[in-house]
Amino acid sequence: MASPADSSTLSGFLDYLRVERGSAKLTIAAYRSDLAQFAAFLEKRKQHLSAARREDVREYIQELFSNSLDGRSVGRKLSAIRHLYRHLLLDGKIDKDPTLNIDLPKQWKVLPKALSRAEVGAMLAEAPPRNETARGQALWLRDRAMLELLYAGGVRVSELADARLEDLKLEMGYILVRGKGDKERMVPLGVPAQMALQQYLKGSREVIAKTNSSPLLFLGIGGRRLSRQRVWQLVGKASLAPGRHASPHMLRHSCATHMVENGADLRTVQTILGHSDISTTQIYTHVALDRLKSVYAKHHPRAKARGNL
């Protein structure tokens, strides 16, 4: 709920739209909704609409993109915010427009969400179910193998669902993956991922497949192909352990982010993820830098200004 000051600011602007510009009810309702959402964002930062800064607007737009809002919707919300501040500027209520020189949404690069190492560890360390049927145990081993592969190789959901038995080269420690444009790449696997896949293949895959013969590595009950939606559901369920909802794409981002944090060069990360352009991989340097800044600010004794220095 907006503060009294923000409610007054919004009411004045909406009255202006209604009376001076003769805007339709639908337009006014859309502006009210978009601006109320922005006001709520500012309120969390203990900030008012009339005192918003350029960085507040930028971080708000970044949050919208991070929440998977499409560019058109973000553009509409930014347009509403721009109209509000132009009105306040012309009305003499503010002396600086915080939306000035804000990039268009299509020019923004969204920083991907990544799990911490502890959160990934909690997902992968989930204990096997007790007193479970043979099929239940088999499904658990399959799911654990998929989680390990998503994180170890940073593979996409479609790449995991399309992976074939013949693509897996456990004795050599890698898997062949077909990415976008049917481009094939070699993805190395760590020891935990190799062990999880080996345990899954030892007998669990046959239990799940029953008599159905399939060339695919991961199968649904009865040997059916796993859908992308099903993989998302399985990852979401596994993320209950760390207490933060995760997606397969977050495991991919986590793989890249943790590699960069540990000093991996961008060309190697680009090759493993299958990015056609290294500029896509470069966003992970920003993610790693943001995390470094956060850790530094939290733990270094001289990170924050002291009044008695």
Please indicate whether residue 180 is annotated as part of the active site. yes
- Answer whether 274's CB lies under 8 Å from 261's CB: no
Please indicate whether residue 46 is annotated as part of the active site. no
How many angstroms separate the CA atoms of 216 and 20, rounded? 64
Maximum separation of any 2 CA atoms in the chain, in Å: 76
Q: Which tokens belong to 133?
A: 């049927």
Please indicate whether residue 275 is annotated as part of the active site. yes
Among the listed residues 45, 72, 109, 180, the single catalytic one is 180
Among the listed residues 83, 87, 144, 156, the single catalytic one is 156
Among the listed residues 230, 249, 286, 291, the single catalytic one is 249
Please indicate whether residue 245 is annotated as part of the active site. no
Among the listed residues 77, 205, 252, 258, the single catalytic one is 252
Among the listed residues 31, 151, 200, 284, the single catalytic one is 284
Helices (H) and strands (E) in the chain, counts: 14, 3
Amino acid found at 70: D
Contacts by 42-48 with C-beta closer than 8 Å and gap 24+? 42/6, 43/2, 43/3, 43/6, 48/3, 48/5, 48/6, 48/9
Please indicate whether residue 249 is annotated as part of the active site. yes
Residues with a known catalytic role: 156, 180, 249, 252, 275, 284
